[in-house]
Structure 1
Amino acid sequence: MVKRLLLLVMALQVTAACAIAWLLSRLVPADVALLLAVIVVLLVRMAIAANNFRMAARPLPQEARLDWRQRLQLFFHEYVSTMAATSWHMLRHRPRLHLASAPRGLPVLLVHGYGANGGFWVHLAAQLEAQGFSHATVDLEPVFGDIDGYAAQLEQAVQALCAASGSERIIIVAHSMGGLVARAWLRRFGASRAARIITLGTPHHGTDLAQMGVGDNARQMRRNAAWLAQLDADDRKLRGLITSIYSYHDNIIAPQDSCHLPGARNIALPGVGHVAMGRHPEITKRILAEIIGIT
């Protein structure tokens, strides 16, 4: 279903580009008109990304402030990451199960976030394979479903990875909403299979931008949602299993300190956007350090 939605968005962009090119072809040569039309579509996507940063902007601590060059780098890295994920990696995604010939450590299950699929993890999956870790992705359906319903799907994926790898425990790495899915799974199915849960940019206390989302999952991620309050009350004794990695400059989670989970190990970093967490070198380094340190 995610692929169908992304293909629809792609089709709308192509249609818009063709319409703009047709209009411009009356003024300039056809090849120039097509180039200008593509640029217009890319600029619209860039404007959407810029607006997300604007809406998510919150006061920053002194140590997290960036100069103008760092802000430009932050913006373009997030923009390129978003374009690559939504227009290429997620469209080409196939469910992934990689079993290392000589496994290193525990297997890793990769859990995507809202409106995504396992294609989000293409960069980290390559790093895990290079480091000798068995790993798998899970695709949560339906796209706009209930997070507790995803927890049952996650349990199936956990059991499948344990059976395939022969391991009794796994490590979960989860982006955005995926971190809430992991916590809902932990609440429902217990901690016997979980060696560590690493969340990236997860709105543990909700995000203001969820007001713009659709579906049960978006409603559950809104600030002050009753579902989040109940989850917070239910899993406090299990927080020692969780590492929350997040960015002071997340352009989807607002306020950004919503990712700070009391009782968990919290790592806050500057200069990384929400989607860029899936491919940013510093984030990857922190994830691998957490994984390698678990026995």
Structure 2
Amino acid sequence: MMAWAMRGFTLGVALLVALTSWALSAWLPWPGALLAALLLAVVIHAAVVALGFALARLLTDRGGPAGPPGWLAAMPKEIYLSLRNMYLDIPWRHRWPIRMPARARGAVLLVHGYGCNRGIWRDFDTWLAARGWIVAALDLEPPRADIDGFGAQVAAEAAALALRTGHPRVTVIAHSMGGLATRAALRMAPGAPIGHVITLGTPHRGTWHARFGRGECAAQMLPDSPWLCDLQTAETPAVASRCICIASHHDNIVCPVDRALLPGAAASLVVARVGHMALAHDAGVRAFIEERLAALHAPEAVESDAA
């Protein structure tokens, strides 16, 4: 569903670019007019992303001690990835098969965030598979539904992946809202075969930017929303101890940084100069994930070798 919506959006932008280039052709040769129209579209997109960074910085400065410098440094990669995700990965590259390496070290389920689909994991999926991990993902549908419904989908997909691969426990790597959906899965299906959860930029304590979203899931991500309060009240310390949180001082969506950290989590990593979508592509974040996955699945490797 999200892919088709973004295909329609992409085609609409393409039409606007064509009309703009036609209008500019009165003053420029058509190749120059087309290039100018494309550059204008990119500049508008970049300006929207920059406004998100500006708001995030304002909220961070108001929310407590200022973090390290790096807001401007985080912007170029975030702009590039948001363009790639919006116009390529989400509408056209979301269909990819489960990655099944010959000698698997464990199974990983990827869960996307708000307004996205499994297409955002392109490149990350092959990076994990090249290191010996079985990798699967799902699309949370419909996109504007409530997070509890997404949680049921995560629990079901984790069970299906465990059954298919023969691994008793699945590690979930979740971006943004996907982390909340996974926590919801653990609340409603405590017996789901989810061993640990690694969250990237998840608004565990909500995000002010959710005010710009639409749908029930966006309202549930507001700071101190009834849904978030109920989730925190229902959770036991054992749930948090299964979570590993990754956050950025310069996240343009979830800020200040402590909103992406879950009290009682088993481990946390806070990086700098990395935007919201760029968390899954940062070299330091990937090194940390690789290290944590190896540690979490070490018992499985020992059992496999013994067999």
TM interval, shorter chain, is: over 0.9
Corresponding residue of 2:15: 15
- 1:1-295 equivalences under 5 Å are 1-57=1-57, 58-59=60-61, 61=65, 64-66=67-69, 70-90=70-90, 91-104=92-105, 106-190=106-190, 193-237=193-237, 238-264=239-265, 265-295=267-297
Residue type of the alignment partner of 1:127: W
The 4+ residue runs of structure 1 with deviation greater than 4 A are none
Counterpart-to-counterpart distance in 2, 1:189 and 1:128: 27
Letter in 1 for 2:53: F
Return the offset for 1:100: 2.0
Q: Secondary structure at the match of 2:152?
A: helix
In 1, distance between residues paired with 2:95 and 2:17? 29
**Which whole-Å CA distance do the structure 2 matches of 1:35 and 1:256 have between them?**
38
- CA distance in structure 2 between the partners assigned to 1:187 and 1:159 by the alignment: 15
Q: CA deviation at 1:123?
A: 2.0
Residues 236 and 263, structure 1, Cα contact 8 Å, conserved in 2: no
8 A Cα contact 2:158 2:192, kept in partner: no
Task: Give the superposition deviation at 1:61.
Answer: 5.0
In 1, distance between residues paired with 2:97 and 2:117?
Answer: 11
- State the one-letter code of the partner of 1:84: R
Distance 1:278 1:142 in 2: 24
TM-score (normalizing by structure 1): 0.94
Corresponding pairs, count: 290
- The answer to whether the Cα contact below 8 Å between 1:81 and 1:279 also exists between their aligned partners in 2 is no
TM-score by length of 2: 0.91
RMSD: 1.5
Offset at 1:12?
Answer: 2.1
Structure 2 residue runs without a partner (length 5+): 298-307
